[in-house]
Structures are given as structure tokens and as C-alpha cells.
Structure 1
Amino acid sequence: MRDQISQFIVQALREMNYDVEDVTDETDLGPAGLDLESLALADLTVQLEDEYGIKFSDEDMETLATMNLGELATTLADRLTPGADTPATAGTAPAGTSPAAASAQVSAE
């Protein structure tokens, strides 16, 4: 799952016209690496939300800017793993919940 998420992120960045030829799991999303600005990071998270049926909080958005590609992929994989007992799972819907239902559940909290 993590590799699939990582590939999705790289493809999304490519479509956003970022040079991803030398991107690895260690490539920072922020100024030391891809230098994603807040708008680009927001665009990426919307694509991830749509693809995987998850929701990012404002706190998540602040944290994402400090991650590298591998950390982001791992965080998402953890959120999507049923029964994962990590802080990253807070606010996510149970496995098998549709993306629309998940969004409604997270929005209602």
C-alpha cells in the first residue's frame, strides 16, 4: 500500500509540473526538497483525499510541509490500515466506509 501511495504522490506532483525525476522517499516536500508552496500542498492533499477517501485536518497540513515523501506515504498507509493504533488514524472512518461517508463522519466531529 505504501509503495502505491508513493507512486500516486509522484504522479500527482508530475501532473502539477514538478520535476520528479530525482525524487526519492527521502526528498523533502518543503523548501529543502520539492519546495511545495502552501497552495501546491493543498492541491496534493485534495488529490490524496479524493483518491483514498481520507481527510486532512489543519494540523495535518502544517505537519505535512515538514515531511519527506516516504514519511507522507507511510502516514497515509497507516491511516488506511484497519486497526492501526497511531495518532495518524484519528478522524478517519472505519475500513469499508465509503469516501463520502468518511468525509461526512470527519466533518461531523
Structure 2
Amino acid sequence: MLSPVTVRAVHKELGRPTDDATIATVREQFAEEVGSRIDLYATQLVNEWKAANPGGDGFIPGEVMGSSHGQALRRAEEEVMEEWFNGPIRTLMERKVARGIDGW
């Protein structure tokens, strides 16, 4: 899960608000965004498993469901981190370097 320290550091670097209320709101929004993507990705992974394992009368082993959910969670977290934090910081650093400023 996303720590308040991470959000505060990113917000500071990007010049965004770093107050406790903002950090708490961002963490809540992050969890909601990740949650909204998990079902989509888990469904895709289960459907891929079904296509690779036809038959079985629609039965999906618990191991497959658990693995799919774990993979979906990691993928969703990685994507949201990239979109919300990593990508904007990378862009900021590239702009600094282009202006002749050391990125960090």
C-alpha cells in the first residue's frame, strides 16, 4: 500500500501540497483507483487461464483465483504509481536536465 511518506515526498518534489489532509486524501484516492482496476485485471487473468485450460465445467481452482488477484493488485498498483507519481517525477527531472539543472 502507499505510505504517507511516499506521497509527501512526491508532492514536495512536484510542488504539490504536503499537508496531512491532502496526503490522506491522495492515499484514499489511490486505494480507490487501484481497487477499480483490480477486478478488470483479475478477470482478464482468469479468462486467460480458462482459455489455456478448457473444460472443467467452469471450475476455477482457488490457487488460480488467488494468484490472479495478487497479480492484478500488483499490476494496478504499479500502473497507478507510474501515472500519478513516477511519470510526473521523471518528466520533471527531464525538464530540469534539459534546462541544465541537475535532476536531483
* Fold conserved between structures, TM > 0.5: no
More helix by proportion, 1 or 2? Answer: 2
TM-score (norm 1): 0.29
Larger radius of gyration: 2
